[in-house]
């Protein structure tokens, strides 16, 4: 089963070198264990854009943006056996934040990929 992990936070605390190192080690371990297929951190929305449809109107918003309360900071894609494994994996990932970035608050949302073909 494939899962996507999406990390959201309203905190703007930059990750400490210790957290980055711990996350790097964890990612490295998961890649070598054949479980992590892809991952990445995301730049703030100011570096990106939004393309929307509202009231039948398509519009491109290129900023400036009112900062959302919670922003997506990164994602990872895993191949795992079960939801339980995904939860255990996310708990381990978030524990690193608790250990290495005191005061930080956020959510790691895990979502199963829809089964079947494209």
Partner 1 sequence: MRTARVRPGRPLSRDTTPDAHRAILAIWRIEQPRLITGLARLLRDVPLAEDLTQEALLAALERWPVTGVPEKPGAWLMTTARHRAFDHLRRGRMLERKHEMIAWELEEEERSLPDLESAQNDDIGDELLRLIFTACHPLLSQEARAALALRMICGLTTEEIARAFLLSEPTIAQRIVRAKRTLSESGLAYETPRGAELSERLDSVLEVVYLIFNEGYTAARGQDWLRPQLCNEALRMGRVLTSIAAHEPEAHGLLALMELNASRAAARTDAAGDPILMLEQNRALWDQLQIRRGMQALERARELGGAGGAYALQAAIIACHARAATAGDTDWPRIAELYAQLAAVVRSPIIELNRAVAVGMAEGPAAALAIVERLGQEPALKSYHLLPSVRGDLLHRLGRYQEAHAAFEAAANMAGNRREQDLLRRRAADAAGAAMTS
For partner 1, the binding residue among 17, 40, 56, 118 (CB under 8 A) is 118
9 sits near partner 1 (criterion: CB under 8 A)? no
Instruction: Residue 118: count other Cβ atoms within 10 Å of its Cβ.
Output: 2
Residues 34-93 close enough to bind partner 1 by CB under 8 A: 34-35, 79, 81-82, 84-85, 87-89, 91-92
Query: Is residue 111 within the footprint of partner 1 (CB under 8 A)?
Result: no
**CB 77 → partner 1: shortest distance, Å?**
11
Using alpha carbons, select from 39, 35, 32, 42 the residue that is nearest to residue 2. 35
Distance in angstroms (rounded) separating the CA atoms of residues 44 and 65: 10
Q: Which residue has the tokens 């930059």?
A: 14
Two structure tokens written together for 33: 């264990």
**Cβ closest to partner 1, residue 17 vs residue 116:** 116
- What are 38's two structure tokens? 């892809």
**Of residues 65 and 85, the one with the C-beta less far from partner 1:** 85
For the CB of residue 3, give the shortest distance to partner 1 in the complex, in Å: 12
Beta-bridge partners for 5: 76, 110
- Cα four-point dihedral sign 37, 38, 39, 44: negative
| Sites of contact with partner 1 (CB under 8 A) | 22, 25-26, 28-29, 31-35, 79, 81-82, 84-85, 87-89, 91-92, 95, 116-118
């Amino acid at each position: 089963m494939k899962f996507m992990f999406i990390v959201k936070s309203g905190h703007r605390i930059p990750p400490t070198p210790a957290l980055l190192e711990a996350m790097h080690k964890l990612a490295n371990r998961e890649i070598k264990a054949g479980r992590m297929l892809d991952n990445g951190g995301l730049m703030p929305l100011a570096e990106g854009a939004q393309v929307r449809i509202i009231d039948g109107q398509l519009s491109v918003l290129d900023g400036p943006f009112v900062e959302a309360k919670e922003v997506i900071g990164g994602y990872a894609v895993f191949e795992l056996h079960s939801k339980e494994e995904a939860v255990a994996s996310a708990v381990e990932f978030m524990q690193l934040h608790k250990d290495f970035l005191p005061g930080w608050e956020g959510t790691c949302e895990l979502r199963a990929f829809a089964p079947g073909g494209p």
